[in-house]
Amino acid sequence: MLRLPSLKITDALESRFLLFDDLKVMWRDAHGITNNTDHSTGDPGIAEIEKTDDIPADRNHAPSDTPVILVVDANVRDAHREKIEQVFPAESTRLFEVPPGEESKSVAAWNRIIDFAFSGPLRRNTPLVAVGGGVTGDLAGFAAASIMRGLPLYQVPTTLLAMVDSAIGGKTGINHAFGKNTIGSFYHPRAVLFDTGFLTTLPQREWLCGISEVLKYGYIADRQLLEQAAGLADPASRNRSLLHDVIERSVRIKAEVVAEDARESGKRAWLNFGHTFGHALETQDNYRNINHGEAVYAGMIAALFVSRKLGFNVSDEPLLALKKTYQLNLNAHAGSIDRLVTLMTQDKKNRDNNIRLVLVEGYGQPHVQTIDDRNLLKEAWKYTFDTLS
């Protein structure tokens, strides 16, 4: 098991990152559980909860006497039912199933989780565990932040995107017609537990969502990840060692950035490279046909175009080399450039009527710049649509 340094920030308890391939061991470790061994038989004895420095035994985070609230993606539960039930047996778990898809990041779905939580045994130290991709993690995280002003939250990401990005850093939330993730809060999990076994059933299109975030890290922090992402994008060239290395590198990058800037007042904005363009595209699409990773992939191409127009020497060739892999068709939105620029002005990261973009001066050299030239943004959209057509 690889345990990364804890993410220590000033406004919440620390988060721990456990990279491993056995969810049961990870869950036990996150609770400070050890196996006592009956030396007469050699068989595992009764698991005991121990007080550790990592998990403070306070009234909010001590082991709970109520069932765990498990919020799980419906597709994940269907594909990994036996694994999940071994770790979270029915007699000690209250299970809430989340329909797959971005539509579940809604006020209605959030309210259903709240109602479910209060419909049964509940304490302020009742753990809420999110098992799923970014949608489930964001939705369940916001519910955990809201119930009794905060339940202990554990994230179990089951998609590559969630493992390298969305499960890390404490951003939780739901969507609104006004924009993506416009309702939410910063709420950090007690631990993020990784089991790459979940990825064995991940469809290729969802896999590429995670590749988009790895490519993002390649541009803003670690150029080697661009090559590694390309190696993971093709199912024929993937290997476990490369996968684990990419997850570890990505988690370290994001954890270090968030630890320094928990609430996006400074360098954490770098993690939004490609996202201002991408979120506008998702909103324009009404979260129906283009998923988050695809939108970010297109958004990075547009952001790199703006970077070059402003005189920075950075290529989009590592992205365009994956064009056939992504097979992204944006023709339905090519006539909506004016609308897309308007949506960019509504991005929650903006401080005024201008648009704050993350640009890159070179590999590993991101910066935030205010853009008030709408024509430049329109050119970037046109270039992106033309390039991907």
Catalytic-role residue among 102, 213, 282, 294 = 213
Q: Is 279 a catalytic residue?
A: yes
Q: Is 176 a catalytic residue?
A: no
Least confident of 40-44, 142-146, 251-255, 334-338: 40-44
Query: Is residue 40 scored above 60 in pLDDT?
Result: no
Query: Is residue 13 scored above 90 in pLDDT?
Result: no
The rounded distance, in Å, linking the Cα atoms of 152 and 297 is 33
The secondary element (H helix, E strand) that includes residue 299 is helix 292-309
Per-residue model confidence (pLDDT) at position 53: 37
Catalytic-role residue among 75, 175, 181, 272 = 272
Q: Is 272 a catalytic residue?
A: yes
Task: Name the pTM for this structure.
Answer: 0.88
Query: Is residue 101 scored above 50 in pLDDT?
Result: yes
147-161 pLDDT, tens per residue? 999 999 999 999 999
> Six-digit token pair at 214?
């790895």
The residues spanned by each domain of the chain are: 2-201, 204-237+266-388
List beta partners, residue 132.
157
Instruction: Select from 22, 1, 5 the least CA-distant residue to 260.
Output: 5
Could you give the C-alpha distances from 118 to 39, 110, 113, 189, in angstroms and in order? Answer: 43, 13, 9, 21
Query: Is residue 43 scored above 60 in pLDDT?
Result: no
Q: Is 203 left (phi over 0), alpha (psi -120 to 50) or beta?
A: beta
Give the amino acid at 132.
G
Neighbour-count burial of 43, counting CB atoms closer than 10 A to its CB (0-12 exposed, 13-18 middle, 19+ buried)? exposed
Query: Is residue 245 scored above 70 in pLDDT?
Result: yes
pLDDT band for position 188 (cuts 50, 70, 90): very high
Mean pLDDT on 277-283: 95
Q: Is 213 a catalytic residue?
A: yes
Per-residue model confidence (pLDDT) at position 351: 63
Catalytic-role residue among 171, 180, 190, 249 = 171
88-97 pLDDT, tens per residue? 999 999 999 9
The rounded distance, in Å, linking the Cα atoms of 280 and 27 is 37
The rounded distance, in Å, linking the Cα atoms of 268 and 259 is 9
Q: Is 324 a catalytic residue?
A: no
For the chain, helix, strand, coil in percent to 5 are: 50, 20, 30
Class of domain 2-201: alpha beta
CATH (residue range 204-237+266-388): 1.20.1090.10
